[in-house]
Each structure stands twice: as structure tokens, then as C-alpha cells.
Amino acid sequence: MLGQFAGQSNSAASRCFRYEVTGLRQNTETDSMGYPIRSSSSVFITVPYNRMNETMQRITAMGGKIVNIEAMS
């Protein structure tokens, strides 16, 4: 698949990023996450490098807006 490498190094596999997301709304998809969503504040979501694109698409589908992405070290 595009953007995925079979021989990823351990440093690439262990990199995580934190998204700051606003505007998420509670719906059937967010109900399955196991925690409530408040649309009035920011939510922080930590994801590994190889799941960044999938997570961005899911956030957009839930009505959220990514306002900041930062690398976790």
C-alpha cells in the first residue's frame, strides 16, 4: 500500500503523533469509542505514524477539525 514500507525501522514504527481536534460531535461512531465527546472543547488523540491518514479521515467523518499535530517524543 502506498506510504507503507515492509522494512520500516523500529524508530518509524514507534513514532507517535498527537492530534488536537475540535468540533467532534457525539454520534453512533463515537459512541463505540467508549468515552464521551464534548463538542465545546479540544480532544487529544494519540496515534502511531502508520495510522495517521486513517485517523485523519475518521476525524473528518465525525465532523472534527484538526487544529494541531505534534510529534510525541
> What is the chain's pLDDT, residue by residue, as a tens digit (73 residues)?
444 445 555 666 679 999 999 887 666 666 666 665 555 578 889 999 999 999 999 988 888 899 999 999 7
Can you name the CATH fold of 13-72?
Answer: Dna Ligase; domain 1 (3.30.1490)
Q: Where are the domains of the chain?
A: 13-72
- The structure's pTM equals 0.63
Cβ-based neighbours of 33, under 8 Å, separated by 6 or more: none
Cβ–Cβ contacts within 10 Å for residue 14, how many?
11
Cβ–Cβ contacts within 10 Å for residue 58, how many?
15
